[in-house]
Amino acid sequence: MDIQSPNIRIHDLSLAAALMSAGYKLIGTNRDRNGRFYFMFKQTDRLTNAMDAYWADTLIVKARMFGDNTKMLKGRIYSEQ
C-alpha cells in the first residue's frame, strides 16, 4: 500500500457502488465497534473528484453495473456480520 495515499472510509452504500461502477477499486471493508460498516478506497484527487461528481449528481455510470455492485456490496455487509 502506498503510504502517500491513505485510505478513505465510506459508509454510504450507493456512493461506494457508484465509485466501483466508475472504475475505482474497493481495497477493503471494515466494521467499527458500533457495528457501522465501511468501504475503503485508496484516497486520490481523482477519487475525490468522482465523489464530488456523485454528490453533484453528475457522475455517469452504467446502470446495470451500478445495480450489480450494489448487490455485491450488500452481500459483503451481510456476510461479515
Q: Per-residue pLDDT tens for 35-63?
A: 899 999 999 999 999 999 999 999 999 99
The model's pTM is 0.88
- The average confidence (pLDDT) of the chain is 92
Cβ atoms 17, 69 nearer than 8 A: yes
- Between the alpha carbon of residue 78 and those of residues 11, 26, 49, 52, 74, the distances in Å are 14, 17, 29, 28, 6
pLDDT at residue number 1:
43
Which among 21, 4, 1, 5 has a CA at the least distance from the CA of 13? 21
State residue 42 phi and psi, 5-degree precision: -75, 125
Distance (Å, whole) CA 12 – CA 36? 11
Which among 9, 70, 72 has a CA at the least distance from the CA of 37? 9
Q: What is the CA radius of gyration of the chain?
A: 13
pLDDT at residue number 72:
96
> Rounded mean pLDDT of 23-37?
93
Whether pLDDT at 12 is above 80:
yes
